[in-house]
Amino acid sequence: MNYKWVPLRKVHGTLALKFLNYVTKQPPFQGFKNLAYVYCLTVHILVKCKMYGSAKMLFARLFDMGIGQDLVFKCLMESYGLCKSSPAVFDILIRVCVRNGLVSEALEVFRLMGVRGFKPSVFTCNIMLNVIGKESERMAWLVFKEMVAKNVCPNVATFNILLNVLCVNGKFKKAGHLVLKMEESGYVPTLVTYNTLLNWYFKKGRYKAALELIDHMSCKGLEADVCTYNMFIDNLCKNDRSAKGYLLLKKMRKKMVFPNEVTYNTLIKGFINEGKLKVAVHVFDEMLKFSISPNIVTYNSLIDGYSRDGSKACPLAIALIDYI
């Protein structure tokens, strides 16, 4: 009888899992080496069936058993050719390591892949870079250099992560330079890129630099959206500059960027915190005028404002409570 290879389907992956469940209960497979090998064989099958969630589950189970990434990698390599597998198995292994907080183990798999001539996907590298960047700026740049050395082409998301790493460490000048380098190298920064930098400008009170960057975005044909302006207004209000925030709202409308309930809620709360209840009520009236529906946050801020005011307006606060 002639047999032919056919693409594996989910049914094959399900059968592989059932077989694994049976086989691992047999005495010859109680040792770590044999156990790891049969698990890795099953992972190869699952990846070919596109059952990535199940493959991750098996890797996690191996780690729970105390089987380290070196033995897992070795078994994956030994069974790789037999299964005509895909480099995606190593990507999944790195992701499971990262998800389980095994960052050094993920780096070791990353290194071993390079030794064996494999390279991880840029998406896996970004996941690893994002976690490492939160712990060490130096390590983040080392991983980035190793990515490039392995011919993994970075994408905009890679640079967004590095941009955030620089900003976290207060290196705003270098962050701005990185954005310019991206543009010069043919990468097109996204709204996420600019918002990352803007968010840090707002946090550090660098309002002039923020406005200059918003203008730079416009020159590149990328207009700031309502989320960008909301970040700016929120920071101004938190620093008792709600009036500046309100002027920014007017600027939004001129640029045809329409405020939402978050914009108005932020301003209302900001003015109330500054003791400017009448202005807060004016902003509330404007909100209604533009048919933006108030929500529980809006009413809570107004109730708070009337309660602080201690005037005869308290009945209105009670009315608002009844309305909610």
Contact 288, 254 (CB under 8 A): no
The C-alpha atoms of residue 189 and residue 321 are separated, in whole angstroms, by: 46
What sign for the dihedral angle of Cα 138, 139, 141, 145? positive
Q: CB neighbours of 209 closer than 8 A, spacing ≥ 6?
A: 172, 176, 201
pLDDT score of 94: 95
pLDDT score of 89: 95
CA angle centred on 262, ends 315 and 277, rounded to 5°: 35
Contact 306, 313 (CB under 8 A): yes
The C-alpha atoms of residue 274 and residue 153 are separated, in whole angstroms, by: 50
pLDDT score of 4: 60
- Please, where are the H alpha helices in the chain? 10-23, 32-48, 52-64, 69-80, 88-99, 103-115, 122-135, 137-149, 156-168, 172-184, 191-203, 207-219, 226-238, 242-254, 261-273, 277-289, 296-309, 314-323
The C-alpha atoms of residue 317 and residue 111 are separated, in whole angstroms, by: 63
pLDDT score of 314: 54
CA angle centred on 60, ends 88 and 58, rounded to 5°: 65
**Hey, what are 262's tokens?**
């978050």
pLDDT score of 302: 87
Cβ atoms within 10 A of the Cβ of 227, count?
16
Give the tens place of pLDDT for each residue, 236-280. 999 999 999 999 999 889 888 899 999 999 999 999 999 999 999
pLDDT score of 1: 47
pLDDT score of 57: 94
pLDDT score of 261: 95
Q: Of all helices (H) and strands (E), which one includes residue 169?
A: none
pLDDT score of 31: 64
pLDDT score of 157: 94
Q: Mean pLDDT of residues grouped by 10 in the chain (324 residues)?
A: 65 81 73 82 92 93 89 92 90 94 91 90 94 92 92 93 93 89 88 88 85 84 86 91 93 90 96 93 92 90 81 54 53
